[in-house]
Amino acid sequence: MASQPLQSVPAEQTPAQHEQSLEDAARRDAEGQAYFDKVMADDSRIEPRDWMPPAYRKTLVRQISQHAHSEIIGMQPEANWISRAPSLKRKAILMAKVQDEAGHGLYLYSAAETLGQPRDQMMQDLMDGKAKYSSIFNYPARTWADMGAIGWMVDGAAIANQVPLCRASYGPYGRAMVRVCKEESFHQRQGFEILLELSHGTPEQKQMAQEAVNRWYAPALMMFGPPDQDSPNSQQSMAWNIKRFGNDELRARFVGMMMEQVKVLELTLPDKDIRFNEETKKWEHGPLDWDEFHEVLSGRGPCNAQRLERRREAHENGAWVREAAVAYADKQSRKQAQKEFAA
Amino acid sequence: MSTTPETAVPAEETAGHGDISVGVPGAGAEFGAGSGDAAASATRITPGNALRPEDIALAVSRGTAKPSDDAAEYALRLGDDALILAQRLGHWISRGPELEEDIALGNIALDQLGHARSFLSYAGGAYAKDGKPGKTEDDLAYFRREPEFRSVEIFEQPNGDFAVTIARQFVVSYYQYELYRRLTESTDATLAGIAAKAVKEVDYHRDHSAQWVLRLALGTDESREKMIHAFQVIWPYVDELFRDDELTARLAGTGAAVEPSSLRADFDRLTGEVLAEAELDVPQVKAAPGGGRRGLHSEHLGYLLAEMQVLAREYPGATW
Amino acid sequence: MNDSTAPAAAPAPHTAGNVWPLWEVFVRSSRGLSHVHAGSLHAPDAVMALRNARDLYTRRNEGVSIWVVPADAIASSDPDSKGAFFESPQGKDYRHATYYTKSEGVKHL
Ligand SMILES: [Fe+2]
Ligand SMILES: [Fe+2]
Ligand SMILES: [Fe+2]
């Protein structure tokens, strides 16, 4: 890749040739940077084989793979209720929803692969606990109402985050997000409808719904990431047209949407401080416990160990299957080659 | 679910409300080669039009589809088979050997669940008698006790490892294909309609399982051993699928259904072809007596139902 | 979503033997239209790649036909030679009907 400067003097080069190739590399980098800057200024797109600053590539790999991991780990709290869904219709919806999340993980891993990062490496990093994923999926889905709260608030927050990402400057990421956002369109609605059913159901059902909303509210707001002033990466991502809006901006919008929607649900948000600030024209919310956020993110949440163990288990239990398929493919292509040779 | 004007979110950013705008003009075509031909999009999505469980339930509640007692009992059998299988397969979502396989098994589970819902909705129509309403798919799925389930034992067999799941899939999909293929000509229009949708889906399930039987049987020594073992585990339950009884005899008499035994020759021939290609022998095992059609199940079903029904039974009469 | 390049990095050693290669998926959304790139996936061979593509990329009726291509079988133009490759057609207006203004207004032309 043009972005990697030459490291050592290849044996067949004279010192003068080596000088020359260093110069060439520097010139390519300078040209590349100029082209990259123009793409950013024009709000155009970078494609996989374009020159890109190493830090841009690194940021993308990190962000896209974290996003992919979140989709995959995020399957677990909901998969937990597939077997117990209280009606066959809800069972079908939930299965399709969790299945979609697997698809989202796949689209995103593919986007990250265009940057030279193989999927199995990303998966390994996840299982080794080296990679991060959205901390919200480390909370347990305690009741059926959590399926509603997750769909409405967690998918809702994810969508609010993801829609601007459809215009991310890295082409494959933006395209993956377009597909994801199209599929997400039913996730939030089905969650909302679960809560609506519950809140209009028996008193116990309504209470179940309210408790789920109470539990998922703060973690959902924290999905937008730390406040902008504590989020140094955020600034750079905006300069690179990866992110389009700051964390606080997106969070405030989300709070505004929730406030409207929660009325339809006839439930409340567990935050007395929510208000619309007439001066700034922005929604404001109460303080969030960022210490807890960092605790959970760093591995000390209620389900961190369980989530990773489950992923490892699936991966390890599947190893012999993946191996068998590779071995079969090899045998088949050898057979094919022999046939062609004989013909 | 509309955004308040105060939030001042640009129109294309109001996310997450049904028909999501993705903020990219002509985004549907973005996957394309930049042809600007939105119609060529590989992301254009449609619900399609097929016979859905909801359509059957509606026809039943309107009385435009009304099963005979025999047809209802038969639909209950097929519905239970598919439901129990869907319940088993759903467990694989998030546990597959590779992410792509999570999705494949998820699709199969959803197909089976769809068939179950259609058959059960139809079966429920028979309970509408003397002014009483019929039963819904959920009444039947969640509020019957184990002895009232009519599924045969192979469907409730545990997932085991991936090979066992594939062995079970292989048997049931070849069986269901032969069955639904014939039921498309049922004199019972609703059974024929459900079968016409199901047979195409089950055709794919056959292919899926056959592909995996080949790969596991001919892949590595380890996978071959596991595949052989899996067939040993599953094959005792094959015979029960093809057993005739008084109900099937009566239904075969009216052309509403076929005798299960009449499917056996095709089943043996087609599964035999795949097994031969996989260099596997048809397992020589003793058949289990089975009794699922009479409500006599293996020990596994009770646990499956306990898990499936727990929430619905905690809140009887609730809607979800 | 893999845009034609095979990942440059070599597979990590721990993965030998059970890593499925990458495939690019092209979907025809309805008869009469071209196949367009839908994304990518992993599969052990072409047979399974087609099936995985069906399961992953056509769950919502997105397609009536699918192609899969091994990602490393795709050759692509070099982004560094954008100029040499794509400059030539610029400015050759006479290839376009709009260049011919004198005939404007003449019917059926
Ligand atoms: Fe998702
Ligand atoms: Fe989602
Ligand atoms: Fe997401």
Arithmetic mean of pLDDT over chain A: 93
DSSP annotation string for A120-148: HHHHHHHHTT-S---GGGGS---STHHHH
pLDDT greater at residue A127 or residue C4: A127
In chain C, what are the domain boundaries? 7-78
Q: For residue A104, which ligand has an atom nearest its CA?
A: 1
Confidence of residue B139 (pLDDT cuts 50, 70, 90): very high
Q: Which amino acid is at A196?
A: L
* Distance of residue A31 Cα from the nearest chain B Cα, in angstroms: 25
β-strand A282-284 against A275-277: which pairing, if any? antiparallel
Say if residues A170 and A45 touch (Cβ distance below 8 Å).
yes
Whether residue B212 lies inside any domain: the answer is yes
| A94 vs A332: CA distance, rounded Å | 38
| B103 vs B94: CA distance, rounded Å | 9
pLDDT tops 90 at residue B247: yes
What pLDDT does residue A11 have?
61
CATH number of C7-78: 3.10.20.520
Whether residue B319 lies inside any domain: the answer is no
pLDDT tops 60 at residue A33: yes
Domain that holds residue B33: 11-314
What pLDDT does residue C78 have?
82
What pLDDT does residue B40 have?
64
pLDDT for B288-301, tens place per residue?
Answer: 999 999 999 999 99
- pLDDT-wise least confident of A192-206, A209-223, B161-175, C10-24: C10-24
Confidence of residue A6 (pLDDT cuts 50, 70, 90): very low
Write out the two tokens for A169: 């400057």
Calculate helix-pair angle for A88-113, B69-90, nearest 10 degrees: 30
Shortest CB distance from B31 goes to which of C38, C55, C59? Answer: C38
| A153 vs A273: CA distance, rounded Å | 18
Cβ contact C15–A118 (<8 Å):
yes
Measured CB to CB, residues of chain C less than 8 Å from chain B are: 20, 26-27, 29-30, 33-34, 36-39, 41-44, 47-48, 51-52, 55-57, 59-63
Domain containing residue B291: CATH number: 1.20.1260.10
The residues, any chain, with a CB within 8 Å of residue A271's CB and separated by 6 or more, are A217, A285, A286
What would you measure as the largest C-alpha separation in chain C, in angstroms? 71
Confidence of residue B135 (pLDDT cuts 50, 70, 90): very high
Element (H, E) at C24: strand C22-28
pLDDT for B85-119, tens place per residue?
Answer: 999 999 999 999 999 999 999 999 999 999 999 99
Q: What are the backbone angles phi and psi of residue C69, rounded to the nearest 5°?
A: -135, 135
pLDDT tops 80 at residue B6: no
B317 in contact with chain C, both atoms CB, cutoff 8 A: no
pLDDT tops 90 at residue B257: yes
Element (H, E) at C60: none
What pLDDT does residue A13 have?
76
What pLDDT does residue A15 have?
83
pLDDT tops 60 at residue B18: no
Confidence of residue B29 (pLDDT cuts 50, 70, 90): very low
Cβ contacts (< 8 Å) between C17 and chain A: which residues? 323, 326
Say if residues B76 and B150 touch (Cβ distance below 8 Å).
yes
Tokens 């990458």 found at = C22
What distance lies between CA B5 and its chain's CA centroid? 46
pTM listed for this prediction: 0.90
| Nearest C-alpha neighbor of B209 from the set B161, B174, B255, B244 | B174
Shortest CB distance from A326 goes to which of C8, C12, C17? Answer: C17
| C77 vs B7: CA distance, rounded Å | 45
DSSP annotation string for B109-148: HHHHHHHHHHHHHHHHGGG--TT-----HHHHHHSS-GGG
Domain count, chain B: 1
Give the pLDDT mean for B289-318: 97
pLDDT greater at residue A187 or residue A14: A187
What pLDDT does residue C3 have?
45
What pLDDT does residue A50 have?
92
- Say what percent of chain B tops pLDDT 70: 88
Calculate helix-pair angle for B69-90, B246-254, nearest 10 degrees: 110
Q: Which amino acid is at C76?
A: S
Q: Spell out which residues have Cβ within 5 A of ligand 2, the ion.
A: A 155, 184, 187
pLDDT for C51-101, tens place per residue?
Answer: 999 999 999 999 999 999 999 999 988 877 778 888 888 889 999 988 999
List Cα–Cα distances, B71 to B1, B58, B81, B153, in angstroms. 44, 18, 15, 21
| C36 vs C42: CA distance, rounded Å | 18
Sort A25 into a burial class: Cβ within 10 Å, 0-12 / 13-18 / 19+.
middle
| B310 vs B257: CA distance, rounded Å | 34
* Distance of residue C29 Cα from the nearest chain B Cα, in angstroms: 6
For chain A, the chains sharing at least 3 beta-carbon pairs closer than 8 angstroms are: B, C
Cβ contact A111–C11 (<8 Å):
no
Cβ contact B98–C42 (<8 Å):
yes
C62 in contact with chain A, both atoms CB, cutoff 8 A: no
What pLDDT does residue C81 have?
76
pLDDT tops 80 at residue C14: no
Whether residue B4 lies inside any domain: the answer is no
| Nearest C-alpha neighbor of B166 from the set B119, B108, B246 | B108
What pLDDT does residue A147 have?
98
| B107 vs C59: CA distance, rounded Å | 8
What pLDDT does residue A234 have?
85
What pLDDT does residue B31 have?
33
pLDDT greater at residue B174 or residue A18: B174
Give the pLDDT mean for A132-150: 97
For chain B, the chains sharing at least 3 beta-carbon pairs closer than 8 angstroms are: A, C
pLDDT for A282-334, tens place per residue?
Answer: 999 999 999 999 999 999 999 999 999 999 999 999 999 999 999 999 999 99
pLDDT for A78-123, tens place per residue?
Answer: 999 999 999 999 999 999 999 999 999 999 999 999 999 999 999 9
Q: Quote the ligand 1 centre to A100 CA distance (angstroms).
A: 7
- pLDDT-wise least confident of A240-254, B24-38, C36-50: B24-38
Arithmetic mean of pLDDT over chain B: 89
**Can you name the residues that pair with C37 across neighbouring β-strands?**
C26
Q: Which amino acid is at A261?
A: Q
What pLDDT does residue A89 have?
98
Say if residues A108 and A176 touch (Cβ distance below 8 Å).
yes
